[in-house]
Amino acid sequence: MIDVRLLRTEPASVKAAMARRAKPALLDELEHAERLDARLRDITVERDSNRAQINSLSKDVATKRREKDDTGAETLMNQSRALGETEKKLASEYDEVSAALREVLLLVPNMPHADVSAGNSDQDNKVVKGPLQMPAKFADYQRVPHWETGSALGILDNERAVKISGAMFTMQRGLGATMARALCQLALDRNADAYEEIRPPSLVLSSTLTATGQLPKFADDAFSIQRDDLWCIPTAEVPLTSLHAGETLKAEELPLRYMAHTSCFRREAGSAGRDTRGMLRTHEFDKVEILAVTTPQQAPEMLVELTNRVEATIAALGLPYRVLEICTGDLGQSHHRSFDIEVYAPGCDQWLEVSSISWFSDYQARRADIRFKQTGAKGSEIAHTLNASALAVPRVWAAILENFRQADGSVAIPEVLQPYMRGAKVIAAKS
């Protein structure tokens, strides 16, 4: 959530930043927020004046009582009662306007970092590194979609997944399931040197989902349990961000680094018919998330750290990859600056996003009320949050099946994964 005080004191700079998102309606929302904020301040002035009059009348009533002027005292008391009714109306309006302002601000996205390149859509995202580890040519046997290879090897059984749970659910079997788990363990192990492992709940409150920006705007993309005011997490970023909700941290404790392996649940509203075969788009999948809580000064360096860690893991798997910087028009709701890492899948002939590395500035921390205090400082400051998908299983799993497919239809297991594969080095068809 943007700082309303910034909108109040630097409206031109805020509007200029939001204009870079290439969504003209945002400027109307900002002007609406300005009007609501102005009315709040007017109400505050009116209430202060009203209360001062009530206090003054109370003193005057006491004076009239001492002077035995009951009529005068009653007249003043009637004036005070009228002002009291006005105070009730002002208080009610203040609550209504305050709620309306919060509702608007919750829907207003983050301001892009000044260094984010301009653009209108994902077509304007720039490749800033790569492609790397890209072979000069792919063999014909690598040009087979992963769902065909997975089915032939008996390690992908989406048909039974659909029978159990409905459309857009997947299921891995045998060494396919082992490889899915191995990918998560690899990501955890590669980040265990600096990141504390957390096993958070997979169901969270509305307030927790609001903190990261999924609510209210993306409610249709989430699975909810309305009876209990609980939501299935779309990513471990959600519970990890709220670990310190409502807390004031010590500056010397920062940065805090966390990681978590969880199932992730996404309704993927409106996506039916798009990339629904195989593992590319699914309602439930496993992912390892890494997240940091920092001071504003630490955040730029942390963004580099997160990007480097994700890139190193993808590189270790031997997959062809590239790094993109997300343009202003494609930035997510909460994002201040973002990079995507994509791997190439020769069977699908697509670049697949496998990680988004994002800096949220104070946007999420303001919603979650995560603050920090410098030693000796009088007040506190809003922290910054950053996160990255250390490894998301479905598309990496798919890319391995396509890139490491061999002439006989088997799949070579990347060397870095083999220690987690119970001795298997190749996934071959059952004899």
pLDDT in tens, 83-112: 999 999 999 999 999 999 999 999 999 999
β-strand partners of 284: 265
Q: What is the mean pLDDT of residues 206-224?
A: 95
| Residue that terminates a domain, selected from 107, 131, 164 | 107
Q: What is the pLDDT of residues 128-170, one digit of tens each?
A: 999 999 999 999 999 999 999 999 999 999 999 999 999 999 9
- For residue 116, being part of any structural domain is answered with no
pLDDT at position 389 over 90: yes
Closest CA to 108 of 42, 11, 39: 11
The pLDDT value recorded for residue 268 is 73
Cα separation, 303 vs 305, in Å, equals: 5
| Predicted confidence (pLDDT) at residue 249 exceeds the cutoff of 80 | yes
The verdict on residue 298 lying in a domain is yes
Instruction: Flag whether 113 is in a domain.
Output: no
Pair 128, 192 in one domain: yes
H or E, element range at 303 = helix 299-316
The closest alpha carbon to 46, from 100, 98, 89, 97, belongs to 89
List the structure tokens of 135: 């072979």
CB of 14 within 8 A of CB of 58? Answer: no
**Residue 276, pLDDT score:** 61
Give the residue from 285, 294, 300 showing the smallest Cα distance to 184: 285
Let me know if residue 151 belongs to a domain. yes
Residue 117 lies in a domain: no
In this structure, are 266 and 341 located in the same domain? Answer: yes
Same domain? For 248 and 329 the reply is yes
What pLDDT band is residue 269 in, cutting at 50, 70 and 90? low
- Rounded Cα distance, 163 and 166, in Å: 6
Total of domains in the chain: 2
Q: Cβ-count burial of 407 within 10 angstroms (0-12 exposed, 13-18 middle, 19+ buried)?
A: exposed
Say how far apart CA 211 and CA 206 lie, in whole Å. 9
Which single residue is written with the structure tokens 């999948």?
285
- Looking at residue 290, its pLDDT comes to 98
What pLDDT does 17 receive?
Answer: 96
Tell me how far apart the alpha carbons of residues 364 and 366 are, in angstroms, rounded to a whole number: 5
Length of the chain: 431
Q: Is residue 99 part of a domain?
A: yes
Per-residue pLDDT of 32-65, as tens digits, reads 999 999 999 999 999 999 999 999 999 998 998 8
Give dist(CA 302, CA 51) in Å, integer: 49
Q: Does some domain include residue 392?
A: yes
Give the range of the structural domain holding residue 422, as residue numbers without chain letter. Answer: 122-427
Are both 271 and 215 inside the same structural domain? yes
Same domain, 133 and 51: no
